Amino acid sequence: MSEQTIGVFDSGLGGLTAVRELIKILPGEDIVYFGDTARVPYGTRSRDTIRKFAMQDLRFLLDKNPKAVLVACGTISSVALSDLRAMTEIPVIGVVEPTARAACNATRNGKIGILGTSATVKSQSYQTAIGAIDPSIQLTAQACPLFVPLVENGYLDHPITELAVKEYIAPLQEAGVDTVILGCTHYPLLKPVLGRILGDHVTLIDSGKEAALALAAALKAQNQLSSAAEGQRRYYVSDEVGNFSHIAGMFLNQNIDGAVEKVSVKTDD
């Protein structure tokens, strides 16, 4: 048994989709979350910048002595996962592989849509992962650069968000997909509007949820699950805590005001 923490990080609020699932399936685990809200979004930045930011974020979490780290960010998982794994011997779980497997298992007509940041779509990470599982699956990928700013500013189900969703999902609808990967962990916070527009016949694959399930399976396999009945959660952000606390509290369905702290991330590299 292990009483160490689970580290989770993302560019901002999106990784809370993974935290919510971890709390549900592993209620006894202590969780330390870092959201790099001062530098969000990552998805429009260069590959080198994403790698640099991701390594700085991981160093911050490693100082908290975690037993495993969940990279709850599709962009980082697509661009920098191998770099992060080279920094530590503890498990570092990304979102791409578990999400790709779930999508392949879910599709009925062999047509999958991918919604992601510009960097994720450009990296072809989901296409590569799905192609390795089933090369016969037809894929339609769409970059959605407006989604992360909408989520970070609290526009989770709003007329402006609906307009953006309709614009971005049009190619997926034309392709006749029956399964859509929400390839950025911010995107599951837009599930109400996405589900309403796509319809009940389309299955939405939550990348945060699938990554959390993969992490839980890895800890169980290594006999590293906590023996505690109820874990503690700490949240760190690199910008002001107010907006984060408000939206995170609504999403997690609990008041986290006293559990959020603003910190500085070392950038001297």
CA distance 173 to 177: 6
pLDDT digits (tens, 9 = 90+) for 237-247: 999 998 899 88
Confidence at 268, pLDDT banded by 50, 70, 90: low
Token look-up 């999403």 returns: 251
The reply to whether 5-94+209-262 and 96-207 are identical in fold is yes
| Whether the predicted pLDDT of 2 surpasses 70 | no
Catalytic site residue from 73, 148, 190, 216: 73
Mean pLDDT for the stretch of residues 60-85: 96
> Can you give the pLDDT at residue 234?
95
Q: Which of 31, 96, 121, 184 is catalytic?
A: 184
Architecture of domain 5-94+209-262: 3-Layer(aba) Sandwich (3.40)
Question: What pLDDT sits at residue 170?
Answer: 98
Domain boundaries, the chain: 5-94+209-262, 96-207
Residue 144 catalytic? no
pLDDT digit string (tens) for 162-220? 999 999 999 999 999 999 999 999 999 999 999 999 999 999 999 999 999 999 999 99
Residue 46 pLDDT greater than 60, yes or no: yes
Q: Is 173 exposed, middle or buried (0-12, 13-18, 19+ CB in 10 A)?
A: middle
Number of residues in the chain: 269
pLDDT of residue 250: 82
Question: Does domain 96-207 fall into CATH 1.10.579.10?
Answer: no
**In the predicted model, what is the mean pLDDT of the chain?**
94
pLDDT of residue 243: 86
Retrieve residue 120's tokens. Answer: 């994720």
Give 254 or 42, the one with higher predicted confidence: 42
